[in-house]
Amino acid sequence: MKKTPFFLFVCASFFISCGKTSSGCDPVPVTSEKAVLVAYCQANNINYTEHSSGILYEIILPGSGMTPIATSTVSAIYTLKLLDNTQLQAVANPVTFSLSAVIDGWKIAIPLIKKGGRIKMVVPSALAYSCTGKDNIPPNTPLYFDVSLADVY
């Protein structure tokens, strides 16, 4: 797969976590968003499990290859939506990035599956882009991801 440095920069900048900032903003507590996360799962037929972090997820396929760890490089195909189902991004070909460079929600949820696995996750805003937002993602916005883990390095 051929990748240009610009493409990698754009992808990496999308995934870089903004949860820890010096902007002085206060992230919304995960517990205060739980009702919205649960309502989204129920409305979208997501048979969720709650992670201790507050992420709600459903493992569609557990996968059978390598399990990613914090220092892994992974390739993933994914869809990103706001909780009003506005699709912000849909990646049809695997994008490769370091797991250490993504939002906290991905750092927590992606290691729950293995290579070849698929997970749906509803991520509280504090584990996404927090109170600062990112590009077309408003501040304090929980996010939905549907991720297929193509490879783990």
CATH number at residue 40: 3.10.50.40
Tokens representing residue 67 in the block? 């399990």
Q: Is the pLDDT of residue 20 over 80?
A: no
Structural domain containing residue 83: 5-152
Amino acid of residue 101: A
| DSSP at 97 | E
* CB neighbour list of residue 31: distance below 8 Å, 6 or more residues apart: 54
Number of domains comprising the chain: 1
Note the pTM of the prediction, 2 decimals: 0.84
Residue 15 · residue 101 · CB < 8 Å: yes
Strand-pair category, 73-82 with 143-152: antiparallel
Q: Which of 100, 72, 96 is nearest to 3 (CA)?
A: 96
What would the mean pLDDT of 50-63 be, rounded to a whole number?
A: 98
pLDDT digits (tens, 9 = 90+) for 33-53: 999 999 999 999 999 999 999
Residue 17: predicted pLDDT: 44
